[in-house]
Structure 1
Amino acid sequence: MRRVVTALVTVMLAAGCTGTPSDGADGDLTDDWAPLPAPAAYQPAAHACHARLLQTASATDERPVDCGQVHVGEAFHLGTAPDAEVPPAEGTAGARAAYRECSQAAVDFVGGPWRTARLAVHVVWPTAKGWSGGARWFRCDLTQTDLDGYGRSGRTGTLEGELTRPSPLRLGCFAPTVDGGTVTEMRPVPCGRKHRAEFAGLWQAPDVSYADLEAGVARSAAGCRSVIARFAALPDDADMQYRSGWISYNPTRSEWLAGERRVRCFVYFAERSLTRSLKDAGPSVLPVD
């Protein structure tokens, strides 16, 4: 009996191998599957908050967080990178073009000139692996920063529309700490309280080397004195040096290589304290001493 069952199974298996396929099948199981699509290159979200600032980003190292939680950077724009073998290197035309696009988009995002606030623009590129896989984007991030551009502050809440309303990030009046001619701290205070420094505006530095910018104290002094004269409604002449002092903050080296040329200028007094803004103050408030 066991032999009969075995024989029947053998016949049935043989029939399965030699029979004609039904329902129009051709019997070839390898030619009816559509090819798998090529994996898509990673592309980040155009708007998201991040716990840290990155130079490059991929799907594995992104750490987006809710903007209501503490974060360091906020992505606000996604641009299209040039098609090249490698991402643009720091200081190249492609990298500068990306920074310029991010800078312009930041004005719209925050609702005002971000350079007059404690904000910085940061460009994020795909990783080398992502680039070789076809990623051609750059991401624009905003971060809350110190005046020197090096200290990044964690914050909660989006920066969208930040400068359309009163904001503590706007540059105003400050209580500076100066040690041997070097400003070690600029503590923001309301202009109605005692202060010795006030943001006067931006000076556009010439396109020189970064070392030349840092060494060109006389040039920065002349540039900022002109900014202060316009701000305080003063004659922009040789007597400006006797009306007030000045403090300037240059871009960081990375910002300079990216094409940033703004210098932040502040009117400054070593000993005199004020309890008002010097906007349009005129010669009677700032006489030649």
Structure 2
Amino acid sequence: MRRTVALLAVLLAAGCSATPPPGTDGDLADDWAALGTPAPFRPAVGQCHEALATTAPLDGHRPVDCAELHVSETFHVGTPADADVAPAPGTPGAKAAYRECSDAATGFLGGPWRGARLAVQVVWPTRAGWTGGARWFRCDVTTADLDGRSRTSRTGSLAGELAHPSPLRLACFDPTVEGGTVTAMTAVPCTGKHRAEFAGLWDAPDISYSKLESGTRLSAAGCRSTIARFAALPDDSDLQYRSGWISYNPTRPEWLSGERRVRCFIYFAERTFSRSLRNAGPGVLPVR
């Protein structure tokens, strides 16, 4: 028994040596790195998503590689003004975020996105995230039809998509019209027979969305002037006898966000063309 006690004493003495091991100073309390301040989650640019959303809960944040099938792509993350709650739709803060996203989209895509089958979406933190200190908004881009409501999956990033010829650019169409209402706009090559062509954008006045949708007088005047510039035609009362027009308004959420650009198309009920009508002039489009 005495030999056992002696052995323990030797081991304890060795473990408590006054000389610290090489590379240490013998102080266990002075070399711990200070813990950083916890930071709220902030999304990253260049991530793609399987769905389009208006808010982004942290527990639902599952981005996918943009080479895989996805619906939307984050191209910009902004920082809004601090507030107790995230800006509500239609407020100055929400409109400012949309303007920032829209401007950033033009640079990211390499051209004006309202002239293409694309839509821009502002995504906000959830109420819980905002309360926890999240102060950001995410700018996502998605492909969309002319109504701005159809989102389809795609592969690959949209970066620089409009810097070169792209099938997403609005060009020539073969419209289906029933009772004065356009029910479909089928994209066709401008070298093929078509009855409509994208002429440009018209900036609508800051009126209520219901007033914009309720009549055609404003859209007719705005789109006819847009068509006159596009086709090099006199912008006068005879323009209505040279061509018709089709307009696509922003969606209601876009209008609430401050989007006022209306898409205008030159249109013919009976005539067809196999060329672009840009700068066509009165010789090609006489008064009829």
CA distance in 1 between partners of 2:179 and 2:231 (Å)? 27
**SS of structure 2 residue aligned to 1:171:** coil
Deviations 1:236-275 (A, max 9, x none): 0000111111000000000001000000000111111111
Is 1:123 the counterpart of 2:122? The answer is yes
User: What are the residue-to-residue correspondences of 1:3-152 with 2, within 5 Å?
Assistant: 37-152=36-151
Structure-2 separation of matches of 1:55 and 1:82: 18
C-alpha displacement of 1:33: 8.7
SS of 2:93's partner is helix
State the one-letter code of the partner of 1:87: A
SS of residue paired to 2:282 = coil
Contact 1:42 1:58 in 2 (8 A): no
Deviation at 1:82, TM superposition (A): 1.1
Give the structure 1 partner of residue 251 of structure 2: 252
Cα RMSD, aligned residues only: 2.6
Does the 8 A contact of 1:147 with 1:249 survive in 2? yes
Identity of matched residues, %: 68
Q: Aligned letter for 1:286?
A: L
Equivalents in 2 of 1:92, 1:86: separation in Å? 12
Residues 178-224 of structure 1 deviation map (CA, whole Å, 9 limit, x = unaligned): 11111111111000101110000000000001011111311100110
Distance in 1, Cα, partners of 2:33 & 2:232? 74
Instruction: List per-residue Cα deviations over 1:87-131 (Å, max 9, x = no partner).
Output: 000000000000000011011100111111111110001111110
SS of 1:198 mapped into structure 2: strand
Please name the residue that 1:264 is paired with.
263
1:157 equivalent in alignment to 2:156: yes
Distance 1:55 1:229 in 2: 38
Q: Aligned to 1:68, what secondary structure does the other structure show?
A: coil
Q: Which aligned segments of 4 or more residues in structure 1 are displaced greater than 4 angstroms?
A: 23-26, 32-38
Instruction: Give the deviation of 1:38 after TM superposition.
Output: 4.7
Cα distance in 2 between the residues matched to 1:116 and 1:176: 17
Q: Which position in structure 1 is the counterpart of 2:13?
A: none
Q: Structure 2: how far apart are the matches of 1:69 and 1:33?
A: 42
**CA distance in structure 2 between the partners assigned to 1:155 and 1:107 by the alignment:** 20
Verify: 1:280 aligned to 2:279, yes or no. Answer: yes
Query: How big is each residue's C-alpha offset from its partner over 1:28-66, in whole Å with a ceiling of 9 and x where there is no partner?
Result: x9xx99886553211111221111111111331112111
Deviations 1:136-168 (A, max 9, x none): 000100010000111112111111000111100
Separation in structure 2 between the aligned mates of residue 88 and residue 262 of structure 1, nearest angstrom: 23
Secondary structure at 1:239's aligned position in 2?
helix
Q: Tell me, yes or no, if the aligned pair for 1:118 and 1:145 is still in contact at 8 Å.
A: yes
* DSSP 3-state at the match of 2:75: strand
1:183 corresponds in structure 2 to 182
SS of 2:137's partner is strand
Aligned residues: 278
Mapped partners of 1:187, 1:45: distance in 2:
36
Instruction: Report the Cα distance in structure 1 between the residues aligned to 2:204 and 2:272, rounded to whole angstroms.
Output: 29
1:25 Cα deviation (Å)?
10
Amino acid at match of 1:171: L
Specify every segment of 5 or more residues in structure 2 that has no aligned partner in the other structure, as ranges. Answer: 10-19
For 1:69, give the aligned amino acid.
Answer: E
Contact kept? 1:55, 1:124, Cα under 8 Å: yes
Partner of 2:12: none
Q: What is the alpha-carbon distance in structure 1 between the residues aligned to residue 178 and residue 152 of structure 2?
A: 24
